[in-house]
Amino acid sequence: MRWSRYFLPTMKDTPAEAQIASHRYMLRAGMVRQNAAGIYTWLPMGLKVLTKIADIVRDEQARAGANEVLMPTIQSAELWQESGRFDAYGPEMLRFEDRHGRTMLYGPTNEEMITDIFKRDVQSYKNLPMNLYHIQWKFRDEVRPRFGVMRGREFLMKDGYSFDVDKEAAELAYKKVFISYLRTFRRLGLTAIPMQADTGPIGGDLSHEFLIQAETGESEVFFDSAISGDKAFTEDLTNDTELEAAFDRLTAAYARTDETHEAALFDAEVPEERKVVSRGVEVGHIFYFGTKYSEALGATVSNADGKDVPVHMGSYGIGVSRLVGGIIEANHDDDGIIWPTEIAPFGVGIINLKVDDEGCTSACDQLYAQAQAAGLDPLLDDRDMRPGGKFADMELIGLPWVITIGPRGLKDGMAELKNRRTGEKQDVAIADVLAKVSAG
């Protein structure tokens, strides 16, 4: 992409409404623009990152055996009246009437709808286990939308739902998602600690939140630092026995949010030197709620004995749009964002220091074409602007590598290569520079 042809409106000054780094940088780096409280437009570079995150989530869902569907954002109130949540959900749910006077709502979550979809076509245990998910916009009329996309009113969620014939099978499904989330977050460059959680308006008796550490996180967290050293965070588990053992290890260790924290237990169980008291951002939340929705909505399957039983369910959420902010909270410095390679909006930036110099421009164009051919997805800063502004913008948008070409180095066939994360700069022959970037 050529910057001159790209809608990437950066801002030099810090917007007054942004209180945390991710919000500031998402506005300054031209990723989002607010339309109403907690409601945002995603501009091209923001959308590119959001899409990359969603694609990694998708890939890991496929690996875990889940099927992707796409349910609507607008739901009719009827199923919610049947489950009893229409009244229980409260003012967070946006309700309205269509032209026929039917009550509709903008979905805050999809347990009822997926249960209804399931029951219409699945009647036998032979079709189970089943796990269906979608990645879709949600609306929750939060009392205090804040911190940009971190607590929006409209936000993108991956929500998955598992169906099993009995409790034992459903718990295994829950554990599989639990472990697959560790891998999903790892691919996004994050260590998300699973913590025992309250079930809130979703209901049920087993629930975990996944939190990444960030000073600006909304919840206080208390956990045993030994958890993040568990091999489940870095290694892939090959079978159900290994998976269950990892689940048992991770859930036996102390890890709680402020809502569920039991100070006495924390003191008794965790050695002083391993106690972490910090703040965290909830990027995922999973629930096992058994037959709560299947009983209310009449979703039964015949079991191996030919008996009709209500299907056992769980639901599993990842805050896809919140992750954009969460990843920036975990990866930035005073100059801007530092993208993990896997989700960087472009693989490499190329700065043309002097666009009115024919030599510089033709060297940059050539390098740009080569980087494209090599699959490096380059962003070429070909704007007619002072070097200082170009450097500052490139730091702000945080691409992993930046190649700068100016008239002085070009005389000797040299470019400067900078690593955004380490800040390390080196002079490299233009002919070799892309090989260096590819090698990482």
CB of 159 to ligand P5A, least distance (A): 4
* Closer to ligand P5A by Cβ: residue 287 or 346: 287
Distance of CA 331 to the CA centre of its chain: 14
User: Closest by alpha carbon to 179, among 242, 124, 118?
Assistant: 242
* Closer to ligand P5A by Cβ: residue 29 or 211: 211
CB of 140 to ligand P5A, least distance (A): 5
- Which residue of this chain has its Cβ atom nearest to ligand P5A in the complex? 319
* Closer to ligand P5A by Cβ: residue 159 or 381: 159
* Closer to ligand P5A by Cβ: residue 322 or 390: 322
* Closer to ligand P5A by Cβ: residue 53 or 202: 202
CB of 284 to ligand P5A, least distance (A): 5
What is the rounded distance in angstroms from the CA atom of residue 289 to the CA atom of residue 88?
16
What is the rounded distance in angstroms from the CA atom of residue 156 to the CA atom of residue 326?
14
What is the rounded distance in angstroms from the CA atom of residue 415 to the CA atom of residue 433?
8
Q: Which amino acid is at 114?
A: I
* Closer to ligand P5A by Cβ: residue 147 or 368: 147
* Closer to ligand P5A by Cβ: residue 68 or 333: 68
CB of 379 to ligand P5A, least distance (A): 28
Instruction: Give yes or no for a contact between 284 and 319, defined as CB atoms under 8 angstroms apart.
Output: yes
- 41, containing H or E segment: strand 39-42
Distance of CA 283 to the CA centre of its chain: 6
CB of 412 to ligand P5A, least distance (A): 50
What is 306-362 written as a DSSP string? S-EEEPEEEEEEEEHHHHHHHHHHHSEETTEE---GGG-SSSEEEEES-TT-HHHHH
CB of 97 to ligand P5A, least distance (A): 24
Instruction: Give yes or no for a contact between 349 and 394, defined as CB atoms under 8 angstroms apart.
Output: yes
Q: At what angle do helices 167-187 and 240-252 cross, to 10 degrees?
A: 80
CB of 109 to ligand P5A, least distance (A): 4
Residues that bind ligand P5A (CB under 6 A): 109, 140, 142, 151-152, 155, 157, 159, 202, 282-285, 287, 315-317, 319, 321-322
DSSP 8-state code for residue 205:
S
Distance of CA 174 to the CA centre of its chain: 19
* Closer to ligand P5A by Cβ: residue 287 or 401: 287
CB of 293 to ligand P5A, least distance (A): 11
CB of 130 to ligand P5A, least distance (A): 16
What is the rounded distance in angstroms from the CA atom of residue 116 to the CA atom of residue 132?
13
Q: Which amino acid is at 177?
A: V
* Closer to ligand P5A by Cβ: residue 3 or 139: 139
Q: Which residues of 26-37 are buried (b: 16+ CB within 10 A; e: fewer)?
A: bbbbbbbebeee
* Closer to ligand P5A by Cβ: residue 53 or 363: 53
What is the rounded distance in angstroms from the CA atom of residue 204 to the CA atom of residue 198?
9
CB of 167 to ligand P5A, least distance (A): 19
For 277, half-sphere exposure in the C-beta direction (CA atoms, 13 angstrom radius) is 10
